Homo-oligomer: A and B are copies of this chain.
Amino acid sequence: MKETVTVESIVRGIEQGDRRMLARAISFTEDEHPIAEEIARKIYQQVGHAYRIGITGPPGAGKSTLTSGIARELRKQNRTVGIVAVDPTSPFSGGAVLGDRIRMSELTTDPGVFIRSMATRGSLGGLAKTAQEVADLMDAAGMDYVIFETVGVGQGELDVARATDTTIVVLVPESGDSIQAMKAGLMEIADIFVINKADREGATKMKIELEMMLKLRSTHTRINWLPPILETVANRGIGVDKLVETVSRHRTFLLEQGELEQKRSLRLQEKVRQLIQSELSKNFWNPRRKELFQAKIKSVLEHRLSPYQLVEELFGIEE
């Protein structure tokens, strides 16, 4: 027998940190169920507590292992952690090799950790929006930190940076060539660089190169925060404590400079704009317009009507 779930019971559950209710709310959000918006409206007062960390980098850089390491470190400090894996190569999302998943299994049974992996079908834009909403739910459920794990190779990096307070870019010594090429994009978003698997050949060379690039840039941008470059060997836990310390230092920096507030303000503005877009779209597509669209799209395809003319006709219909 399926129990009836009301919006109120979900909202109450989330506010009490009930994992089952949190999981349900997340599912509604992923499915874009109408209930999701009702929940979002009601928990909104509780959102804003969690600190948001983004971990991005090329496939195979060890992002998931680092994510687990950071989560473990934060748990030692008695902080609760939500993880949103929007990376198709993440073991959290069912990817990667068995060993990784075993290493993570201790996290999955820890009641202070909540992990959710998200399907990466569809456009990145839509995914970024949903990932944010999922993070808001975790935030409202009392998580102290939310970590986004996401693959980054030049596209969508700005989305990550916009969604988070601290962005960590993870590289490995051997990423050399392809990383070089995308350095501009990475430079722009990295608050902290991590060279993972730093026990491998090439780590020092990569560090020196990154330092040089950062120094060249620092003369004209971001004078106040020079992104530190850390070395880790995440699968042996080496360097992760220092990384978590550095995240704290960055957080303090943002707070003192008023940048944390500014980041959150930009995020909110984006949220309002998205709500407006979806409302406009909902209002626009009334049955008559849908009908006209279906009736005329063939003419557009056959070049008898231009898309611009069709748009004009659609706007010509009264609401």
Contacts and interface: CB of A to CB of B under 8 A. Distances in A.
A158 interface: yes
Interface string A278-319: 011100100000000100011011010011101100110000
B88 A159 contact: no
Given A155-B151, A268-B301, A275 B120 contact: no
Contacts of A261: 301
Interface string A144-161: 000000010111101100
A276 B284 contact: yes
Interface stretch (A75-83, A121-129, A192-200, A217-225): A121-129
A185 interface: yes
A270 B154 CA distance: 24
Interface string A110-132: 00000000001111110110000
Interface in A220-265: 261, 264-265
A interface secondary structure, majority? helix
A303 B122 contact: no
A123 B158 contact: yes
A265 B298 CA distance: 8
Given A96-B177, A121-B158, A124-B123, A153 B59 contact: yes
Contacts of A1: none
A95 B182 CA distance: 7
Contacts of A306: 41, 44-45
Interface in A37-58: 40-41, 44-45, 48, 58
Interface in A62-92: 87-90
A234 to B, nearest CB: 16
A48 B302 CA distance: 10
A202 interface: no
Contacts of A59: 58, 153-154, 178, 181-182
Contacts of A279: 311, 315
A95 B303 CA distance: 39
A213 interface: no
Contacts of A280: 277, 280-281, 284
A44 B298 CA distance: 15
A184 interface: yes
B301 A265 contact: yes
Given A88-B185, A268-B300, A276-B281, 15 more contacts: A40-B308, A48-B303, A58-B59, A59-B153, A89-B181, A95-B181, A96-B181, A120-B154, A123-B158, A151-B154, A265-B301, A272-B311, A272-B314, A276-B314, A280-B280
Q: Which 3 A-B pairs have the closest CB atoms?
A: A95-B181, A59-B178, A88-B154
